Amino acid sequence: AQSVTQLGSHVSVSEGALVLLRCNYSSSVPPYLFWYVQYPNQGLQLLLKYTSAATLVKGINGFEAEFKKSETSFHLTKPSAHMSDAAEYFCAVSPNTNAGKSTFGDGTTLTVKP
Amino acid sequence: GAVVSQHPSRVICKSGTSVKIECRSLDFQATTMFWYRQFPKQSLMLMATSNEGSKATYEQGVEKDKFLINHASLTLSTLTVTSAHPEDSSFYICSAINRGTYNEQFFGPGTRLTVL
């Protein structure tokens, strides 16, 4: 069994400020973890993924996330927000088996203020 | 990167008609495809898992006779909404897994279905 909790359905930051989107997971087996971004009326785009290699994962658009097993967390960060980062962000977990289903969090809407 | 397309991007139909949505993996063979439904401001709800050459596996509460899924080849899966009603109006998204990519899902752009 697996689940994802995204703390904070809405996050608002000023342009240039730190972005922190929180994700906690539970999984009965070692997990793969993902962050996706969704712009209005579009599909999801992968930002980054954790696959049991390095615990600090760097992704596209300056985002990174750190896998912390002891805290069962996989928070997404970006040092300096840009207006174009405004979107919906989803954290997802899947078992580390071939073609395993992913479970998605409820999403966090990121707003960037000028 | 791997590309997944969906067609159509938008469809408006009358109540009682059937609508087919296609999901194609353009540059890889997708052994597994997923179909999701997304309501406004909500997360993705997995409807079914589609494996090439076998019957789809539906999630609890999803009517398999209403949402027909066919995964006819390693690059194509279709979702047919039969006898559509206004409550079926939603954003439908497919995704595909490329073997060996740690279950990374490549998502299609989505299909907006509106049933009048």
Residue A99 has pLDDT above 70, yes or no: no
A109 to chain B: which residues are within 8 Å by CB?
41
Q: Which residues contact B66 (CB under 8 A, 6 or more apart)?
A: B81, B82, B83, B88
**Which residue in chain A has the smallest CA separation from B34?**
A101
Interchain pair B102, A44: CB under 8 A: no
B91 to chain A, any CB pair closer than 8 A? The answer is yes
What percentage of residues in chain B have a pLDDT greater than 70? Answer: 97
Q: Which pLDDT band holds residue A98 (cuts at 50, 70, 90)?
A: low
With beta carbons under 8 A apart, name residues in chain B contacting A99. Answer: 31-32, 97, 99, 103
Distance between CA atoms of B92 and A43, rounded to whole angstroms? 9
Residue-wise pLDDT tens digits, B57-99: 999 999 999 999 998 888 999 999 999 999 999 999 999 987 7
**Residue A8 to residue A105: CA distance in whole angstroms:** 11
pLDDT of residue A57: 95
Using DSSP bridges, classify how beta strands B30-38 and B19-25 pair: parallel, antiparallel or unpaired. Answer: unpaired
A98 SS3 class: coil
Residue B71's pLDDT is 87
Distance from CA of A47 to the nearest CA of B (A): 11
Q: How many CB atoms lie within 10 A of CB A104?
A: 22
pLDDT at B100 over 80: no
Residues of chain A above pLDDT 90, percent: 76
**What pairing do the DSSP bridges indicate for beta strands A87-95 and A73-78?**
unpaired
Map residue A102 onto helix, strand or coil: coil
C-alpha span between A51 and A35 (Å, rounded): 12
Q: Which of B24-33, B71-80, B99-108 has the lowest mean pLDDT?
A: B99-108
HSE-up of residue B102 (Cα within 13 Å, Cβ side): 14
Give A106: exposed, middle or buried? Use CB within 10 Å, 0-12, 13-18, 19+. Answer: middle
Helix (H) or strand (E) holding A30: none
- Identify the burial level of A29 via C-beta atoms within 10 angstroms of its C-beta, where 0-12 means exposed, 13-18 middle and 19 or more buried: exposed
